[in-house]
Structures are given as C-alpha cells and as structure tokens.
Amino acid sequence: MSGLARKDILSLSIAERIELVGDIWDSIAEVPEAVVLTDAQKAELDKRLDAYHQDPTVGAPWPVVRDRIAGRK
C-alpha cells in the first residue's frame, strides 16, 4: 500500500485526521458489496431492520444519539 505513512497521519491535526477517516469511510461505502459480513452480523442487521419495520418510531435519529454520546464526559 502506498500513500500516507503513520508519521504522516500523526502530523495531521485532529480535524484533518477526522476528515481523513470520513474520506476513507466514504470510499468504503461506495462499494458496499466489497464489505463481507459474518452470518452473525447479517442476522443482527436483519433483526434490527425487522424491529424498525415493526415500529419505525422507536429509536432516535443519529444526530440525537451522537449528541447524547458526546455529552457523556
């Protein structure tokens, strides 16, 4: 693998590293078929999707969850 070395990554600011992680995640999300899931992971996703279909009002949107987690310090 070519590109960034660990020392290069560590020389980035925290904001730049977070942006890099986002860019990496976006590149992975562009090819979801390349992400191999275990049977247990597939079963868990199916379970969560079924629960959502049974009652889509349960749960909270990601911004609410993120803010709640960020508030735990």
Tell me: pLDDT of 2 over 80: no
Residues 2 and 16 occupy one common structural domain: yes
Residues 45 and 31 occupy one common structural domain: no
Residues 3 and 25 occupy one common structural domain: yes
Average pLDDT of span 15-40: 94
Parent domain of 15: 1-35
| Residue 4 pLDDT class (50, 70, 90 cuts) | confident
Residues 8 and 21 occupy one common structural domain: yes
Contacts of residue 22, Cβ cutoff 8 Å, sequence gap at least 6: none
Return d(Cα 47, Cα 18) in angstroms, integer.
31
Confirm whether pTM is higher than 0.85.
no
Burial tier of 24 (Cβ tally within 10 Å: 0-12, 13-18, 19+): exposed
Residues 31 and 49 occupy one common structural domain: no
Residues 15 and 41 occupy one common structural domain: no
Tell me: pLDDT of 73 over 70: no
Residues 25 and 57 occupy one common structural domain: no
| Residue 1 pLDDT class (50, 70, 90 cuts) | low
